[in-house]
Amino acid sequence: MKRDNEISNIVIAGGGVMGASMAQIFAEHGKRVSVYDISEESIRRGEELVALSQRERVRDGTLTETASRETAGRISFVLTPDVFENADYVVECIVENMDVKQAFWRKISAIAPENIVLATNTSGLSISEIAKAVKAPARFAGMHWVNPPHLTPLVEVIAGEETAEETMDVVYGLALSVGRKPVRVKKDARGFVLNRLQFALLREAMHIVESGIAGTEDVDKVMKYGLGLRYACVGPFETADLGGLDTFYRIAEYLFPDLSDSKEVPALLARHYRAGEYGTKTGRGFYDYPGDAAEQAVSRRDRRLADAAGCLIGERETEVTPPGQIRSGTP
Ligand SMILES: NC(=O)c1ccc[n+]([C@@H]2O[C@H](COP(=O)([O-])OP(=O)(O)OC[C@H]3O[C@@H](n4cnc5c(N)ncnc54)[C@H](O)[C@@H]3O)[C@@H](O)[C@H]2O)c1
């Protein structure tokens, strides 16, 4: 199987929000990238996304004009699937639909070389289920990036039932080689790790608001200025070690019975959903976004993420693993 250090020619399927962004990350690290899409309009949009974000990188000083020109020069957009024949690695970022993904992989896994890794950026569809359409599924794995990829370095590397360990190593190694912080998800569990944690937290956040314990804005503040800030620096297990496991045990004993363990979509979320209030995209969600407030919310998030990422993954951050050693026997 082609190892991660032998990959120079990457094919990304789907040149949308994620594909266009990932293409630039690979290209900045010297890879040649072909972005394959099925419609001319999508290709035009993908090219615009790349041009726009390269202009921003030059303007904010994170890329020189020369480096930006070289990056863009390594990316080509194509409508014909013959690019898969010479790929060293394929990552699929097409629409989040099982039938569409399976149809794509049925065709492409028969064209792509047998000795390369094939990956999907699905947000949460079962890797094992998609793999049923893949020829030689031992070389197939999940490679889940987080939006916006240029500001959030995490990549979840997910094993399906058939995925070979060697395949996991290639995806992990490739992510690492382009400046990402990959993690191994050993079981194809729904939501992988990030979304399981995110939705466990969102369920309790809504439970707090619905129970009248605190309001929406204050729950967001607790995260931004307390828990979120802490979790950007130390994870939940490191936090518990630093706080004392005796204390955490006692709190877990009295607090867990009080937390939400509902299996239903919370009424608060369902109400917004039924009213067509989808958040920034419709101008109304948990908050209202009159005028250009939605655009401002996106750019404020990106500015803050860029600042935080600069601290955490910039030159000052050298540690990938925490200073403590993982104990033998710890799962
Ligand atoms: N947007 C996010 O926040 C996010 C985050 C992580 C993962 N993902 C996942 O990444 C994938 C893509 O998401 P996105 O937000 O970039 O979507 P998008 O709608 O912006 O882009 C999808 C692109 O795929 C193209 N496409 C559709 N069918 C195709 C096919 N058969 N062959 C080739 N191209 C095809 C479309 O023309 C479009 O350009 C999804 O699986 C999604 O769940 C998205």
pLDDT at position 316: 44
Residue 38, ligand 1, Cβ within 6 A: yes
Distance CA(69)–CA(64), nearest Å, equals 9
Q: Measured between alpha carbons, how far is residue 103 from residues 5, 130, 189, 238, 290 in Å?
A: 30, 9, 23, 43, 41
Q: Counting atoms of ligand 1 from 1, which one is nearest the CA of 41?
A: 37
In the predicted model, residues of the chain with pLDDT beneath 70 are 313-323, 328-331
- Residue 252 CA, ligand 1 centroid: distance in Å: 40
Give CATH 3.40.50.720 domain extents, the chain.
4-185
With tokens 């500001």, the residue in question is 151
Superfamily of structural domain 195-313: N-(1-d-carboxylethyl)-l-norvaline Dehydrogenase; domain 2 (1.10.1040.10)
**Cβ burial, residue 240 (10 Å; 0-12/13-18/19+):** middle
Q: At a CB cut-off of 8 Å and minimum separation 6, what does 42 contact?
A: 14, 15, 16
Give CATH 1.10.1040.10 domain extents, the chain.
195-313
- Probe target for ligand 1 pocket from 17, 111, 180, 193, with the most ligand atoms within 8 Å of CB: 17
pLDDT at position 315: 44
Residue 79, ligand 1, Cβ within 6 A: no
- Residue 97 CA, ligand 1 centroid: distance in Å: 9
pLDDT at position 308: 84
Q: Measured between alpha carbons, how far is residue 180 from residues 25, 148, 194 in Å?
A: 9, 13, 15
Residue 18, ligand 1, Cβ within 6 A: yes
Tell the residue nearest (CA) to atom 2 of ligand 1. 147
- Does the domain formed by 4-185 have CATH 3.30.420.40? no
Distance CA(115)–CA(196), nearest Å, equals 33
Q: What's the per-residue H, E or C state across 302-316?
A: HHHHHHHHHHHHCCC
Q: How far apart are the first and last CA of the chain?
A: 29
pLDDT at position 329: 64
- Phi and psi (nearest 5°) for 286? -65, -30
Q: What is the CA radius of gyration of the chain?
A: 21
- Residue 317 CA, ligand 1 centroid: distance in Å: 31
